[in-house]
Structure 1
Amino acid sequence: MFLILTLALLPLGLIALVASLQAIETADLEKEALLRVAVSQSARKLTADLESDRTALQLTVNNLAATPSDTSICDRLNLFLAKNDRDGGRYAIYDRTGRTLCASHPDLAPIVPSQERFGGPTAQLLDGAPYLLTRVRSRDDRLVGLIYYSRAHLESAADPATALQNRRLSLHEGHRRLNLSPARPFPAGAVGLTSLSAPLEPPNIVLTMTVRDPPETLARTLSLFLPLVMWFAAAAIGWFVVNRLLIRPLVLLRRTVAAYHPGEVLEPMRRVRTPAREIIALGETFREISEDVATHEAEMAEGLETQRKLTREVHHRVKNNLQIIASLINLHARSAHEPEAVEAYASIQRRVDALSVVHRNHFAELEENRGVGVRALISELSASLRGTAPAEARRFGIQIDSDDLHISQDVAVPIAFLTTELVELAMRLDPQGRMRISVQWQQDDRALLAIQSSGLRESPTMSAYLDDRYGRVLTGLSRQLRAPLDHDGEAGRYAIAITILP
């Protein structure tokens, strides 16, 4: 309903808004066109005025160059320029020596230095003087005529026939600028400036006309924003109606569903009063679904408990079987008389005990599904290894430094065997020595297992043991852990990176 009301009113608001924008754009284009016509007309008028004065000056300069004694033509030029310029028309004609042949006023002070009179463009703006200079040279290039146009004359000549309020005229030549209109403030409330330019002849001079935009009126502002205000008011009314009748009940329904916990039975429509039968039907559907989910949750919980009991029983039986195997090995070891046989039985028993320790610790953490605790695993394994150590290695010391980390059973088994192999190797090489086992977290899901002992230092005896049996076993275990086993022979230290559980 809310969307229908909004979409039904939106086209009308957009049509009115587009119409208002087009009307404003048309008015702006008309104003710009009027300004363009005005500046083009002013440029043509000023160009025609300058061209006529330049023609008269050219005739005078050429005549003086041909007959220097005939100065009457200067009086005719003076009368011609005085008709157009209320200031009398300032001009002067010089020769190459800098002598003034004729001028508008006998005491006219030179504005352009003598060395710059013959050089430069036909028309130019003067630095430091409020004049537009027109320069004409004779055919034989011996004389030059200069006309100085004041601001008042230039503004009068460039005044367009089109009536424009608050206009300003200025001439530009590169970085030079000459303001023709008197400096007067624009009316209060004007908001912007619009400027257009047109070139003169010669084209190095550009005439620029600037007008101030009219101030924003209340009618213009209302014509622009009234369609949006109307559409917003209609949308607000529609929103109020839709919110009370539809959205609010749906929000309450969503909150009830979001707070749902598996196993509960939802009653979402108990606190909702709405005339929409569809929402009531939706609430009933949620209630039926929650009843089905609660039933399935109870069945899954019962199945999970049964599975947990079966898994616990499997681990318990595996641990018992390993203990039986260890007991059988111990019985056979007691009947052996050869030292080599006794040591072989003890070695096998240590490895069976290591596997039994892994299963026991995995079973201990099974309830929380956290994996095998590294610290507990290594501590129990160290105690078992010391208990089955040879008689000469009964005082072999093991120090454990481990963070509280957990690993999977796939990682725990090779770690247990790796620790057993290295402890047995160290007991053989240095029965009275000590060993330090550390497991330190490094980053993300990696930790470093380091085993250090004086018996693991590089020696010929150790190399013989590694070549005989231990080297192949350690290499196979490092491959299971998918990491290289580093050996520091001087420090007697083995280190390998292991994967831990988050």
Structure 2
Amino acid sequence: MMDEKLEAMRSATGGLALRLIGVMTLAILPLALISFYQTAQVMKESDNLSETVLLDRTERAASRERELIQSALGAAKALAETEIVMAEDANLCNGVLQSLVKGDNSYSMAGYLTASGRVACASAMNDETLRIGRDMFSKIQQSNGDAEFWSNTSSGPQAALSLAVPVGPVAERQGYVWISIPYALANTLLQNNTSDVDLVIFDATGAPLAADFTEEELFAFLPQGRSLNDFVQPQRQLYTGLNQQGEKRQFAVVPIMEDQAFVMGSWEPEDVAPFPLMGRVMALYFPLLMWGVGILVAYFGTHRLVIRHIQRLRVWMRLYAAGRSEVSSARLDNAPEELEAVAQAFRDMAQRLSNQERQRAEDLTEKTILLKEVHHRVKNNLQLICSIMNMQVRNARSDEAKRLLRRVQERVMALAAVHRYLYTARKLSMVRADLLLEDIISQMVVVGGMDSAKSRVKISTNFAPIEITPEQSVPLSLMVTEAVTNAIKYCGARQDGAGWISLVLSDLGQDEVCFSIVNSKGEPLNASAADEPSLGRSLIQSFASQLQGRIEVEDLPERYGIHVTFGIMFDNEEDDEEAA
């Protein structure tokens, strides 16, 4: 489980796709930075050019109005230079002013005001436009400029755009030349220029002088939170914001008379790009889009040319590791030459390993057959020896000779049982101890070691299914044979006249096994045999030592038991395989 997590982490952090993204990022990053910088510069220049264009368009839209005002201002200044004529001869002054108005229909009235505000002469002395308010005249007197502009938007002939030019220096002010332009003409010149811009002309105090819309629409024209006075500045300005109606507009302010009159144009912002994602955002983020497209193309191209073939190779390897070694017919789908060479190398390696594995399996089968044949021949030879010894037992005259021959015969049959089991077993590396011991006990009964006492001794077995190595099976078989023989030899009867022997093979866990044999004590069932000297105890200790086991003797008044505990000694090859 831990290995799978580590492999998943390595795959997540070091996969080809992530590394490809990193390499592409490093490759495109300098280009992206250069592109961002150049795009920003181009956009900055574009903004500057756009501002210049809007300002020029505003200035062009008010060009006719500016020419009219400049013409009136020039005429007023020219008249102001003839101050002697206006001061000395009123008739001459009236004639000059009448000639000016009749000669240029752009003017509705021309007059000369004295320093006290009296009309000394005019183009028409009975004209209603000669009236001027006291506040307006005070404003004219306080002006320090070359001219003063004001507008009268009332209906009728009084509606006019007027300007006053002082006559004489400030300290010796003699009067003012006053020229009026029809308000309708001033508005008409603004309206006829262009249809996509709203224009308003205002003076240095922020007071509107002329507009291409009505006075009621002036409030909706202005930007939110700002007045015309905020735009009275000598330089040209561009402002983008909402008007009083909440509409987004562009406002361009251009001075048409230096520090005296200004024109403001209101434009609807132009959408340069035909689609929302094209334009400034598209220009700024085009490198990012290029990076994303490059990543996608590189990823799918790499997946098509490399990753899918590597994944198929990994599937082949897993199938081969799972035991399906037939990969010679596996082919990659239109793979590059390099990956096809890797696949061919894997197929060749798998084929060689399969051939070696097949040869190894055949050799192992042959060796197993030969080894079983050896066990079979040894078993037959031991059985032949047992048969010869059985013939010797029948021909022996003394009981002592018969018993000695039978003891030897039992030991030989125990060895034969081991070889018989190995001959018939499917697995030669391990031996089922329970089956082996059951076979030995049954043979001892058949051969005669226990047949004479069978009716007097009750034998019980309880063998757990435990596997031991063949090296341990021989000393265990011989030890059990000697232990059973000694148990029969020294078994005693209880009060009811019956004896018992219990054989137990138990699994203690952690590869430890305990063999126990317990017999009853009492009146000896075979008194003559019990008095004979015994070799069995020495042999039991010797066989237990070969098993590297511990012997525990249990000697109680009613029973006698031997408990041998030993560990299963696995082969070194199996230990190496388990460790791997």
TM-score by length of 1: 0.51
The yes-or-no answer on 1:451 pairing with 2:525 is no
Which string of whole-angstrom CA distances, capped at 9 and with x for unpartnered residues, describes residues 147-177 of structure 1?
xxxxxxxxxxxxxxxxxxxxxxxxxxxxxxx
Deviation at 1:250, TM superposition (A): 0.9
Matches within 5 A, 1:294-309: 294-309=354-369
**C-alpha distance in 2, partners of 1:455/1:380?**
26
Alignment of 1:379-418 (within 5 A): 379-387=438-446, 388-389=448-449, 392-395=452-455, 396-418=457-479
SS of structure 1 residue aligned to 2:427: coil
Percentage of identical aligned residues:
25
The 1:477/1:368 distance shift into structure 2, 3 A limit, reads closer
Give the conservation status (yes or no) of the 8 Å contact 2:20–2:299: no
Relative distance call for 1:407 and 1:465 in structure 2 (3 A) is: farther
2:350 aligned partner, one-letter code: S
- The CA deviation string for residues 181-235 of structure 1, in whole angstroms up to 9 with x for no partner, is xxxxxxxxxxxxxxxxxxxxxxxxxxxxxxxxxxxxxxxxxxxxxx999988865
Contact 2:548 2:567 survives alignment (8 Å) = no
Find the residue that maps to 1:488 and give its secondary structure.
Answer: strand
CA distance in 1, matches of 2:564, 2:297: 71
Equivalent residues in 2 for 1:163-202, closer than 5 Å: none
Q: Is the 8 A contact 2:445 2:451 kept in 1?
A: no
Matched, 1:478 2:538: no
Given candidates 231, 237, 259, the residue that maps to 2:319 is 259
Contact 2:549 2:566 in 1 (8 A): yes
Match of 2:81 in 1: none
**CA distance in structure 2 between the partners assigned to 1:466 and 1:407 by the alignment:** 34
In 1, distance between residues paired with 2:534 and 2:484? Answer: 17
The one-character-per-residue Cα deviations of 1:431-451 (angstroms, maximum 9, x if unpaired) are 752211111212121222111
Q: Distance in 1 between matches of 2:400 and 2:461?
A: 30
Q: Which has the higher contact order (CA 8 A, sep 6+)?
A: 1
Q: Is the 8 A contact 1:319 1:356 kept in 2?
A: yes
Q: Is the 8 A contact 1:262 1:297 kept in 2?
A: no
1:423 and 2:489 matched? no
Match of 1:6 among 17, 22, 28: 22
Residue 560 (structure 2) pairs with residue 492 (structure 1): yes
1:428 is paired with a residue whose SS is: helix
Aligned-residue offset at 1:457:
12
The 1-side partners of 2:552 and 2:289 are apart by 76
Larger radius of gyration: 2
Q: Indicate if the aligned counterparts of 1:457 and 1:492 stay in contact, CA closer than 8 A.
A: no
Instruction: Give the 3 Å change call, closer, same or farther, for CA 315–391 of structure 1 in structure 2.
Output: closer
Shift of the alpha carbon at 1:495?
Answer: 1.2
Task: Give the AA of the match of 1:405.
Answer: I
Q: Deviations over 1:67-100 (max 9, x none)?
A: xxxxxxxxxxxxxxxxxxxxxxxxxxxxxxxxxx
Q: Which residue of 2 aligns with 1:439?
A: 505
Shift of 1:322: 0.5
Q: Equivalents in 1 of 2:368, 2:298: separation in Å?
A: 57
Letter in structure 2 aligned against 1:411: Q
- Could you report, residue by residue, the CA deviation over 1:446-476 in whole angstroms, capped at 9, with x for unpaired residues? 2221111115999xx99x9898523321221
1:268 partnered with 2:330? yes
1:326–1:6 distance in 2 versus 1, CA, 3 Å: same
Read off the aligned partner of 1:268 and give its amino acid letter: A
Runs of 5+ consecutive residues of structure 1 not aligned to the other structure:
18-226
| Distance across 1 between alignment mates of 2:424 and 2:552 | 32
**Which amino acid in structure 1 is aligned with residue 415 of structure 2?**
L
CA distance in 2, matches of 1:240, 1:496: 70
In 2, Cα distance between the equivalents of 1:362 and 1:397?
30
Counterpart residue identity of residue 358, structure 2:
A
| Distance in 2 (alpha carbons) for counterparts of 1:327 and 1:337 | 18
Query: Structure 2 length as normaliser, TM-score?
Result: 0.44
Q: Decide whether aligned partners of structure 1 residues 456 and 422 sit closer, same or farther in structure 2, where only a CA change above 3 A counts.
A: farther
Matched with 2:45 is none
Aligned equivalents of 2:503 and 2:368: distance in 1? Answer: 33
Deviation for aligned residue 1:381: 0.9
In 2, Cα distance between the equivalents of 1:405 and 1:230? 71
Q: CA deviation at 1:244?
A: 2.4
Q: Which amino acid aligns with 2:458?
A: G
Residue type of the partner of 1:307?
Answer: K
Counterpart CA distance in 1 for 2:564 and 2:532 is 17
Whether the aligned pair in 2 keeps the contact of 1:429 and 1:456 (CA below 8 Å) is no
Is the 1:399–1:436 contact (alpha carbons within 8 Å) kept by the matching residues of 2? yes
Greater alpha carbon shift after TM alignment, 422-431 vs 329-338: 422-431
1:342 match? 402
What's the offset of the Cα at 1:263?
Answer: 4.9
How many angstroms apart in 2 are the aligned matches of 1:286 and 1:338? 76
CA distance in structure 1 between the aligned counterparts of 2:459 and 2:471, rounded to whole angstroms:
25
1:311-356 alpha-carbon deviations (Å, 9 max, x no partner): 1110000000100111111111212111111111011001111111
- What are the ranges of 5 or more consecutive residues in structure 2 without an aligned counterpart? 1-15, 34-286, 493-497, 575-580
**What does 1:19-30 align with in structure 2 at a 5 Å threshold?**
none
Task: State the distance in 1 between where 2:383 and 2:292 align.
Answer: 82
Show the counterpart of 2:345: 285
SS at match of 2:535: helix
Question: Given the superposition, is the C-alpha separation of residues 470 and 281 from structure 1 closer, same or farther in structure 2, using an over 3 Å criterion?
Answer: same
